[in-house]
Amino acid sequence: MKTRIAVLVSGGGTNLQALIDAAGRGEIPHGEIALVVSNNAEAYALQRAAKAGIPAAICVREKGEPRADFEARLLEILRENDIEMLILAGFMAILSAEFVRHYPERIINVHPALIPSFCGEGFYGLRVHRAALDYGVKVTGATVHYVNEIPDGGRIIAQKAVDILPGDTPETLQRRVMEQAEWILLPRAAESVAKEIMDHKEAPL
């Protein structure tokens, strides 16, 4: 029995694609991408899931809806699908301490910078790369980490540095960080955490 993984997305889903491709190559033998959940009904990631034949759910936080209500609906979807591990792959929402308590050391996130630089609330997507360029750092990268109650504050699993080149824009830098770091690190981390969870499951009688 493989660890049942849900990948949470909000947008383009290139990291989801990297996970699907790695699984297809047999590189995530201890995990199964059992579900994709999007908090954006228009996310292109949903088309990637459909193309790969992975069940998908849409869970949008309605205007004015308390976060606890949104998270209760999300939790229900995950429970219905017997999900054991979550991967945040471009999921643009912060999960509460109450929510993450349901999945201790079972939620991982990919962040497009070398944590603790350019991270925390407000640092997501292209904003992260813009901040790195504005600061003038010469090296950035990506981080995969466990998710705890502090935004981008959980234990680091893997990091990879990526050079910033003269003339970089947030877009060119985002692409390089994805290609050279995120798409490599995330599937590897997914496998190691899925294996860790499997190793700790009780053996069936």
Residues forming contacts to ligand GAR in the complex (CB under 6 A) are: 9, 11-15, 89-90, 110-112, 124-125, 128, 178, 182
Encoded tokens for 203: 């053996």
Task: Quickly tell me which residue has 């630089």 as its tokens.
Answer: 117
The distance of closest approach from Cβ of residue 203 to ligand GAR in the complex, given in angstroms and rounded to an integer, is: 35
Nearer to ligand GAR, 92 or 198 (CB): 92
* Residues in Cβ contact with 197 at an 8 Å cutoff, skipping those fewer than 6 apart: 3, 30, 84, 85, 106
Encoded tokens for 146: 């466990």
Nearer to ligand GAR, 44 or 198 (CB): 44
Nearer to ligand GAR, 128 or 131 (CB): 128
The distance of closest approach from Cβ of residue 200 to ligand GAR in the complex, given in angstroms and rounded to an integer, is: 27
Active site residue 111: yes
3-state secondary structure (DSSP) of residue 95: coil
Of all residues in the shown chain, the one whose CB is closest to ligand GAR is 90
Q: How long a stretch of residues is the chain?
A: 205
Nearer to ligand GAR, 69 or 171 (CB): 171
Nearest-5° Cα angle at 100, 162 to 200: 85
The distance of closest approach from Cβ of residue 9 to ligand GAR in the complex, given in angstroms and rounded to an integer, is: 6
The distance of closest approach from Cβ of residue 26 to ligand GAR in the complex, given in angstroms and rounded to an integer, is: 22
* Residues in Cβ contact with 154 at an 8 Å cutoff, skipping those fewer than 6 apart: 109, 145, 146, 147, 148
Question: Alpha carbon 199 to chain centroid distance?
Answer: 22
Distance from C-alpha of 149 to C-alpha of 173, rounded to nearest angstrom:
29
Active-site option among 30, 111, 129, 145: 111
Which residues are catalytic, by number?
A: 111
